[in-house]
Amino acid sequence: MTNIPIVQVCYLRLGSPKVEESARFATDVLGLQRVGAVEGDVALRGDHLYHRICLTEGPPEQQSIGLELADEAHIEPARAVLQAAGFPVRDADANECKRRYVRQALITQDGSGNVIDLVARPAHSGRRYFPSRDAGITGLQGIGLRSTDLAKDLLFWTKLLDARISDRVGEITYLRIDERHHRIALYPSGRKGVMEIALDVESFDCIMQSNYFLRERQLKILHGPGRETASGQVFIRFQGPEDCLFSYVHGMREPRAGERPRQFSSKAESLCAWGSECADVPELSVPVT
Amino acid sequence: MIELKEISYVRFGTPDLQMAESFATSCLGLEVGDRSKKSLYLRSDDRAHTLCYTEGNPEEQAVGFEVDSEENLQAAAATLEALGHPVHSGTPAECAARMVKAFIGFKDPTGNSIELVVRPARSGRKFFPTRDIGITGFSHIGLFTTNPVRDEKFWTQVCNARVSDRIGDISLMRITAIHHTLAMAPGTKPGIQHVNHQVASNDDVLRSFYFLSGRNVPIVFGPGRHPTSGARFLYFTGPDGMTFEYSVGVDEIEDEETHRPRSFGFEPSSICMWGSKRVGQGIPVPAARQ
């Protein structure tokens, strides 16, 4: 059986006990644009897709990650692959598809139990994205996931889906699904969940402007401004309203064909080539040199 | 008109030559080019030296600019004396101490010590920095002025500087295509306000931010980006309270015929477009000097 081909990380669904407060953070701080949603959800966009983040009323652990399949023809083969490997899989019902702005979806889980939606035909927007602040967002770069069972997660991502290992820092694993160095990063952890949502911005200037913007508002900067060693992208990581951290990123490199995965030691310099350190996120707190 | 070709060096007195050397090498990343009993010559590029520390008073500061020939030097001396700036002709010992063939010294209208030099020495050996800083060379200075409008006239009419942009009345002036070699800084007495070395990339600026912060070198401004020159910068404090700057990506002005200086208001966003603020004060006016 061939691997399930994934086009992109499509959306994130995040639970929040205070949806309106989280929504304010998403517009006023992040700069995403709020769009019309159903049933108390708050939907937010940052590019051409109808939405990239959906806030739902509920505990922060209530999360799912939407991955786009090329089209509906891939749904049945995907179901077969997941079932054969013993992963739970069910169809999203009509209401679930409506809330996800997709035509069809399979709901499954990765090896750690993170809920994964495999979706077909996600909605695009007819209108241009208009930012809520000049953060320079151009789209969703990718996500960081906490992994409680790395072996099973790697089986899910690289044997069932078509991701490839790009590089590693200790056991932190960067996964590639398209031309970019990585779109998904797995961080070994004691618990599961979406650790990070990385938003692409126009330029290095935007990252630095956001650095001072966040500091002025005394929002907690967790890591950076820095330069991710393996991927080359400039980043700044900061605390979101719930468990998840957000980052602005820019300039991720596109590896040449035939590059083999490199192993970096578990050191701060392997996560940031400029020398920044992250003390407050256990999955990112590697020993200082 | 006095034709300044290039900025050549800065000279500082210091009470503690050893500390100056330690900072210049382990923090700034400059290379010791030469030393004499009381002087230390530091390199940042292919020149024999671009920064000279001499045992003495830190308030004794000078900047050297290269002019083309000894004829031009004599003509400049005559021009300056006619304008009422007394000129000192460098003695052979003084020339040797500056690694130049000849020079004259005078005071600009604020009282800054300016030297015009002929045939400053280059080095045969490639510059090798003392740390991985990516320095490409000594590039410009900030110079205190007690009257920005008067001093701009001096530099642009008596000398060949051109205004690239202004922030309030403060002019940023070029003598080559590089956006500025002289940045005026409002002050109450003469002196060099900052010394800039160019580095090769943004990585060098940001790495230095973490490196210097880790060694408790005071970061006084940045990391930031000047909207005037476009350069990404970092300012920090060195020996005797002198401000040093690393920057990368200074614009070049090629169209001498048509370039018109822009006017920026005297406010923080005119100095940094990212939003950094000078530590200790809201706007980048020079800190009171010791």
As for the ipTM of the complex, it is 0.86
A37-41, A89-93, B209-213: range with lowest mean pLDDT:
A37-41
Residue contact A209–B274, C-beta within 8 A: yes
Could you tell me the residue ranges of all domains in chain B?
6-118, 135-271
Q: What is the CATH number of the domain that holds A180?
A: 3.10.180.10
A184, A49: one domain: no
Do A224 and A237 touch, CB atoms closer than 8 A?
yes
Q: Given this model, what pLDDT does residue B249 score? A: 95
User: Would you say residue A289 has pLDDT above 90?
Assistant: no
Helix ranges (H only) for chain A are 19-24, 75-84, 94-100, 150-154, 204-216, 268-271
Q: Given this model, what pLDDT does residue A243 score? A: 87
Q: E-assigned strands of chain A?
A: 6-16, 33-35, 42-45, 53-57, 63-69, 89-91, 104-109, 115-120, 137-147, 164-169, 172-176, 184-188, 193-201, 221-227, 234-239, 245-250, 262-264
Of A205, A208, A227, the CB nearest to B203: A227
A20, A45: one domain: yes
Q: Does B210 touch chain A (CB under 8 A)?
A: yes
User: Would you say residue B290 has pLDDT above 80?
Assistant: no
User: Would you say residue B288 has pLDDT above 50?
Assistant: no
Q: Which of B210, B225, B273, B278 should one mutate to test binding to chain A, selecting the residue with the greatest count of A CBs within 10 A?
A: B210
Q: Which of A89, A78, A65 is nearest to A160 (CA)?
A: A78
Closest residue of chain B to A135, computed from CA coordinates = B274
Q: Which residues of B touch A274 (CB under 8 A)?
A: 203, 206-207, 209-210
Do B115 and B104 touch, CB atoms closer than 8 A?
yes
User: Would you say residue B280 has pLDDT above 60?
Assistant: no
CA distance B80 to chain A (A): 44
Mean pLDDT of B232-249: 96
Domains B6-118 and B135-271 share a fold: yes
User: Would you say residue A112 has pLDDT above 80?
Assistant: yes
Q: Which of A57, A93, A89, A58 is nearest to A76 (CA)?
A: A89
Domain that holds residue A225: 137-284
Q: Given this model, what pLDDT does residue A205 score? A: 97
A1 within some domain: no
DSSP class of B228: T
Do B228 and B265 touch, CB atoms closer than 8 A?
no
A90, A167: one domain: no
Q: Which of A210, A214, A274, A288 should one mutate to test binding to chain B, selecting the residue with the greatest count of B CBs within 10 A?
A: A274
Q: Which of A271, A141, A206, A272 is nearest to B203 (CA)?
A: A272
Residues A177-210: pLDDT tens digits? Answer: 999 999 999 999 999 999 999 999 999 999 999 9
Q: Which of B133, B206, B209 should one mutate to test binding to chain A, selecting the residue with the greatest count of A CBs within 10 A?
A: B206
A289 within some domain: no
**Phi and psi torsions of B285, nearest 5°:** -90, 150
DSSP B141-190: EEEEES-HHHHHHIIIIIB--EEEEEETTEEEEESSSBS-SEEEEE-SS-
Cis peptide before B223 (omega within 30 of 0): yes
Q: Which residues in B162-180 are b (16+ Cβ under 10 Å) and which e?
A: bbbbbbeebbbbbbeebbb
A223, A177: one domain: yes
According to CATH, what is the number of the domain B135-271?
3.10.180.10
CB atoms under 10 Å from CB of A12, counted, come to 20
pTM of the model as a whole: 0.90
Mean pLDDT of A252-266: 95
For residue A202, what are the CA distances in angstroms to A250, A251, B68, B171, B182? Answer: 7, 9, 45, 31, 32
DSSP A88-103: -EEE--HHHHHHHT-S
A176: helix, strand or coil? strand
B19-23, B107-111, B231-235, B285-289: range with lowest mean pLDDT:
B285-289
- Extract the tokens encoding A59: 């505990």
**Phi and psi torsions of A221, nearest 5°:** -90, 120
Contact pairs from chain A to chain B, CB under 8 Å = 37
Q: Does A216 touch chain B (CB under 8 A)?
A: yes
Residue B286 binned pLDDT confidence (cut-offs 50, 70, 90): very low
What is the total count of domains within chain A? 2
A51 within some domain: yes
Q: Does B273 touch chain A (CB under 8 A)?
A: yes
Which are the contacts of B23, defined by CB distance < 8 A and separation ≥ 6? Answer: B238, B239
Q: Which residues of B touch A227 (CB under 8 A)?
A: 203, 206
Q: Does A275 touch chain B (CB under 8 A)?
A: yes
Q: Could you tell me which residues are beta bridge partners of residue A170?
A: none
Q: Which residues of A touch B210 (CB under 8 A)?
A: 274-276
A25, A59: one domain: yes
Mean pLDDT of A11-32: 97
A228: helix, strand or coil? coil
Give B224 or B266, the one with higher predicted confidence.
B224
Is the four-CA dihedral A192, A100, A236, A253 of positive or negative sign? positive
DSSP class of A127: S
A81, A173: one domain: no
Residues B15-46: pLDDT tens digits? Answer: 999 999 999 999 999 999 999 999 999 999 99
Cis peptide before A225 (omega within 30 of 0): yes
A108, A23: one domain: yes
User: Would you say residue B110 has pLDDT above 80?
Assistant: yes
CA A146/CA A143 separation, integer angstroms: 10
Residue contact A274–B203, C-beta within 8 A: yes
User: Would you say residue B67 has pLDDT above 90?
Assistant: yes
CATH architecture of B6-118: Roll (3.10)
Residue B278 binned pLDDT confidence (cut-offs 50, 70, 90): confident
Q: Which residues of A touch B209 (CB under 8 A)?
A: 274
Q: Given this model, what pLDDT does residue B285 score? A: 44
CA distance A171 to chain B (A): 25
A143, A277: one domain: yes
Closest residue of chain A to B275, computed from CA coordinates = A212
Do A165 and A157 touch, CB atoms closer than 8 A?
no
Of B224, B225, B275, the CB nearest to A213: B275
User: Would you say residue A44 has pLDDT above 60?
Assistant: yes
Q: Which residues of A touch B277 (CB under 8 A)?
A: 212
- Among the three residues A62, A92, A120, which one is the final residue of a domain in this structure? A120
Q: Does A203 touch chain B (CB under 8 A)?
A: no
Of A208, A225, A227, the CB nearest to B225: A208
Which helix or strand (DSSP H or E) is residue B106 part of? strand B102-107
Q: Given this model, what pLDDT does residue B97 score? A: 97
Q: Given this model, what pLDDT does residue A287 score? A: 63
A76, A188: one domain: no
CA distance A54 to chain B (A): 30
A163, A276: one domain: yes
A127 within some domain: no
Q: Which residues of B touch A216 (CB under 8 A)?
A: 275
Residue contact B203–A273, C-beta within 8 A: yes
Which are the contacts of B148, defined by CB distance < 8 A and separation ≥ 6? Answer: B168, B169, B170, B171, B184, B186
Q: Given this model, what pLDDT does residue A39 score? A: 87
A47, A99: one domain: yes
Residue contact B273–A209, C-beta within 8 A: yes
Residue contact A205–B223, C-beta within 8 A: no
Q: Is A110 exposed, middle or buried (0-12, 13-18, 19+ CB in 10 A)?
A: buried
A91 within some domain: yes
Closest residue of chain B to A272, computed from CA coordinates = B207
CA atoms within 13 A on the CB side of B201: 8
Helix ranges (H only) for B26-115 are 70-82, 92-98
Do B35 and B76 touch, CB atoms closer than 8 A?
no
What average pLDDT does chain B have? Answer: 94
CA A180/CA A267 separation, integer angstroms: 23
A175, A108: one domain: no
Q: Which residues of A touch B211 (CB under 8 A)?
A: 275
Q: Which of residues 175-204 of B touch A (CB under 8 A)?
A: 202-203
What average pLDDT does chain A have? Answer: 96
A243 within some domain: yes
